[in-house]
Amino acid sequence: MITEHDLAEAIAECEGQRNPSANTCLKLAAFYTIRDNMFPKKQDVNFYSMQSKPITNEKVEYESKTEFGQAVANMDVDEIMPIMDELMTTLKVLSPKLYDGVMRKLSPEY
């Protein structure tokens, strides 16, 4: 049986590579996924919505001259969120510091 310590060592080894290959990134993503599923961290209740059902079919009213801003303008939130979730999961693996920075900005305490 794999232990949390074993996963931590494997993650540290992958993160310690100076020029990681695509294979190393795939291993790292797998290690993070296994760790997060086998040893979930206790979540703070403040990160969850208190609404009884999710908001649906809301259009994004965001004006920006950036490529991203123009791409999401007038899209449904339900269409955008799965894409953003996948992006954030990838960002967590490839750049944990950048991921943490984004999460701090999204945190209610920010």
Residues 74 and 97 occupy one common structural domain: yes
Q: Which of 50, 45, 44, 34 is nearest to 1 (CA)?
A: 34
Q: Exposed/middle/buried for 31, CB within 10 Å: 0-12, 13-18, 19+?
A: buried
Residues 34 and 66 occupy one common structural domain: no
What's the pLDDT score for residue 58? 72
Residues 63 and 33 occupy one common structural domain: no
What's the pLDDT score for residue 42? 62
Range of the domain at 78: 56-110
Stated pTM of the model:
0.45
Distance CA 7, CA 4 (A): 5
Residues 37 and 67 occupy one common structural domain: no
Q: Is residue 93 in a domain?
A: yes
Per-residue pLDDT of the chain (110 residues; tens, 9 = 90+): 788 888 888 888 888 888 888 888 888 888 888 888 888 776 554 555 555 555 556 776 777 888 888 888 888 888 888 888 888 988 888 888 999 988 888 887 64
Total domain count, the chain: 2
Give yes or no for a contact between 6 and 34, defined as CB atoms under 8 angstroms apart: no
Q: Is residue 22 in a domain?
A: yes
Q: Give the other-Cβ count within 10 Å of 17's Cβ.
A: 11
